[in-house]
Structure 1
Amino acid sequence: MSEKYKEIVRYLLNVNHEKIESLTRRFDIASEEVANLANDINEHLRKKVVINNGEMVYIATEFTSMIAEYYQIPIDELTPIYKPEVRRDIAFLKIALNDEYLSLDNVSEHCLASKNTLTNDIKVINRYIYENDIFIEYQRKYGYLLKGQELNIRAEIMNVVDRMFQYPNGRSLLEEKVIMVKGEYFLLTERIRKLESKLDITLSDEYLNKLPYIILIMIKRSEITDKEWDLSIKFQDLSNTKEFKEIQGLFWGYPELSKRDLTYLALVFLGANRVDLKTESDVKSEIKIEEFVDFITMKLEEKLAFNFKNNQFKSKLTQHLIPALVRKNLKLTIENPVTDDFIQRYYPVYEVVKEIIDGYKNIGLDEAEIVYLAMIVLGHMYYINNEEYRNNKELKAVVVCHSGHSISELMKVQLKDMFPDVNYVGTCSMRQFYEASLNVDIVFSTIPLNTNKKVFIMENIFSDKGREEFKKKVESYFELDPNIKTRQLMNFLKDVIPEENYEEIQDKAHTFFETEEEEFNNSLGLLEEHQIKFVRDKGIFQMAAKGLNLLKNRGSINQNYFDSTMDIFEEKYQTMIIGPNIYLPHAPVEEGAIREDYQLLINPSLEKCVLCISPESNNAHVKKLLELNGLFTDDLFMKRLYKSNEKDLVKLIEGSYECGIW
């Protein structure tokens, strides 16, 4: 081997891996020569010790000694770990990535140094990290443990990784002494490259080389960080941005990461560190947020001739502005699913808010952020205008939204248009809903809630079709619930009913609806587990026969009902449906229906269902069929149904029904 090739091998053993383009520039050789060198080494050693993927050359740490010995490269040239600065950084990372005290023996063995040397090293480390309010505590009985603010600890870890990259074989040492996961670097690098393309950003070569190591080390740190720690930028401030959603894909193999860790790692990817990260306090100091809110309030009053001097309104505005400005500083693009629809329906409000924001110190928020602010403005105007009218209504509701206050305010406006006779007592987050124990009759929510109150899940209510479907579902519930019907009736008649007779008439009205109430309550349990079965039959007639046999075996129908139903179904199956590709084979009660019963058969491969029924003579089954029809005509529910199983499907049906998806 020529001296030049030997020099390249020595360099690769030190750096562990390098881009082919960098090697060609550094050693003035062609990329073909690099490929030939890698092949020669693998052939001579009869192992694939050098990996060449066309862009980068990689030597696994476990083969370093073998290659050095074969090409007679002194091993001490490859082990600068004995240098004090390297040894201290390795020691710091060893302690930082353990959640228990480490003995002096453990640390000295890891760093290949004596106990006295390591004792002095840790004193030196403490001197330069103390200014960051972190320190390595020593207890004679237990050993060493790193303590301090978590954000400061992570910042120092990043500083150490930066320094490690200045050492000749720093990357090899990080893999061997810190990460200790072979091949993980390559996998993460490939994901980062793809993410660059998706986000249309370009990371510097230097940062791209470091980033996989930083991420892997931070993941190891997160695994040992059980206690809560402060990160001023919240998960919810970034979670609905396009960039953040894509960045989370980097970490699909680490499901144990908390939302706080995901947020921190996303900021690391974007190149943010403790020095240049714009936190909420930074935003407040750079832009006087109270002054900004007062400016918006004053301009709104001038342009809309409306009183916005309300502390609650200002508080809501502040709550959204701070994370909005943080996102702007990080160049993150928020995703607002109702942007286009809102601008189309409420353009005058949007235009006023945009003009005001653009007029304050050239801040220039993007369209989606301005729509969120306009939602808050519109919601406040609606609230003030309708307060007196709202207080006279009997039926009370609250709006719960996981996405943020501005979305829930807009949803309240939409709900007011659909159900004007409901008293909307407010909007809140899921956490606030559980803490407040609100006295309401119904809950409109964007997410499922664990509550005994009636919950309606709001999906797609910003489209005309979605609003119409949702309105029908809610009105159907109002029609079925006798308590609501009684209260609505009494509220309607209260002005003409003498006060002394009010309670008596209310009792009579409730008695009038009592029969319906009993039937309504009895209909809540839709299907039991034994009434649901997944099948792989080739057609709907085989499915119908199987379902009817199950009903017969349970004693719900006799053989005559079975035969009559199959005859009718084979002739009229095209009209015997309860939803798209949902067939309803049945016969008159007198043909042999013994008791009310149901059997649902689901064929995911055909994406078809058959619901066999044994009807009741008093038509009690009709309500349940209507409720099931609501489920079977819901596209989202049907997609979930075909991906479910028998056990989970009972919960899916009951959960969807209870949450208003029917």
Structure 2
Amino acid sequence: MNLDDRSNKILEELISNPSITSKDMEKKYDLTRRQLGYSFDKINDWLISKNLPAIERTRQGHFIIDQSLFTKLNMDHTVESADMDILSEKQRVYMIVMMLLSNDELSLNHFTSELDVSKNTVLSDLKRAQDYVGEYDLTIRYSRKLGYVIEGKEFLIRKLLIHVTYKFLEMNNGASRLRNLAAIHENEIIELNKRIAKVENKLNLKFTDEKIDTMPYTLTLVLRRIKKGQKVSSFYIKYEELSDTKEYLATEEILYDIEDIPMEERLFITLHLLTTNVHWSGYLTEQTIPNLMQALDDMLRLFEKRACIFLQDKEQLLNKLLLHVNPAYYRIKYQLTEINHVQDSVSKEFMALHHLVQKSTKPLEELIGMKIPESETTYLTMLIGGWLTRQGDSIQEKVKAIVVCPKGVSVSRLMFSELRELFPEFVFLDSLSVREFQGYTLDYDIVFSPTFLETDKKLFMANSFLEREEKHRLRKQVMMELHGYIPFDINVEDLISIVKNHASVNDEQELSKELLRYINRDDTAAVKTKQVRNPIINLSDLITPETITLKQSVPSWEAAIQTASKPLIENGYIEQEYVNAMVNHYDKDPYIVIGPNIAIPHAAPDEGVNEVSMSLLVLAEGVNYTEDYSINLVIVIAAVDKKQHLKALMQLMKLAGSEEDRNAVIQAGSVDEIWNIIKSYSKE
């Protein structure tokens, strides 16, 4: 992100004159309290994006500035001259696009005259402009009759118009340039500003300053296109969802004296209001969009788990997120989000945080029904990153780990889950195949893998399935390697002293007993307790003689899945829907092959699973799975959650790793022979 001119000047003033007060700043730069507050928030967002400490403002209007900012900003931060009139390459592209959006019958001469550059430069810029509008699925076309025009769906042209207007007004003297370029009278802007101010009062909110600056120009250009007959299609906009909103009534306030505005266009302007960022809102509640607050809360819980961080004052953060995500909901749903690349918006230090936020947005995606775009995830990252900075936490300070497993997605996820439980203080970024690892771009500290990998980071070899003793050994090895100590010798008195420094202790003796019980707990007792709550299911409990099928051959992979699933359908464990899902998804999950001649097709629990179950199809003649594998053993796995089937899956993996027993199953002459081998792997 970049700072606008006003925020730039304020930041420069703070660095050169840190003793200045808010009132002095307002007077010096002719700002309202709200304008200064908005610029101050923007400055802090920019500082956080550069991994720099935010500036604090006291209630008395003074500023607290970290000493490191004076050195860092004097070295790196330069303010563009307000008098600089030379346009950059990008700015010339914005000029060309704006000319195309607001004028007719444009020739090459119009561009050379307006931009004051040669024809060759304009032709090069037109190619860049084509690339730019191409991101919106639009094209620039030239004809002798019409000159240069932008062609494509009007809804997408409006999306481009909104974005390029914002970019245009970021330029030096952008507002006056835009008025001259599009022949917009200042009175038009003044009148629309008055109407927007009434809208703010009607909706009991305050739009952000940049949106207040942009909105009258956007609306002016949109209304012009409507008058020219360039109208949006009703296909994109749901009348029922928008017509009952307060924003629809506010649209009537803006258009009360403008005739011949079709219903679709009124809905589009309503949508523009709904998607506009707000700085403050007095009526925004979780009822505005049902279940939005719950989705945000679920997202933060996922983030806390992935990032190994506890978020303080979560209610305040949720309200701040609600303020941003409410308009983002409509932007995402109606595909009005900005097109940008996260690499341009998030600093290298924030890439890991961005990745963890991105992996936590599933509750929002399920609510909206669409994937969250990069630009919106970037804003979420900035908000959450700022909150972490405020509470003194940093992802950068934590050990970041990845898991690389060549044995397929199911095994890889299981290994990832076990290691995350074994090292709760580490941030586990991803579970990867070897090929994915070779092209991995995020910064990490350590790698866990069952196979040797070429890496300059610390590599810890670990089996795909860890027994209890292996877990103890691995934890000791990793902690000794990273920190030079084994973190098992814990002094209870030291712990109590630390607790007393930060909290009141009502009963020190009872606390000491509880801590001792926890530190010296019997792991085997914990396992027994867990067994009572959720009994461990062995491989022989799921693959039984009734769920084993022997056949000479099948004609296709689809037929193999259908045949293997038959016993589970007959017993009511799964529905046909689950079988269809396995057939449809097989090419999307090439890692279901877990060993030579053996594969474990499966789908999601919500795609037709009634009860945790497994079945085994043994084929004397292998069936082709893609071009790479011939499969003799097909084990259908139907899971109801992420835990119940894990013990059986671990036992199955051990069987898959034994060439002798694997071949014995393939060559078995009866179900009983196979059943005996299955039972041998099911002993505790």
TM-score with structure 1 length normalisation? 0.30
Query: Quick check: which has more Rg, 1 or 2?
Result: 1
Q: Which has the higher contact order (CA 8 A, sep 6+)?
A: 2
TM-score with structure 2 length normalisation? 0.29
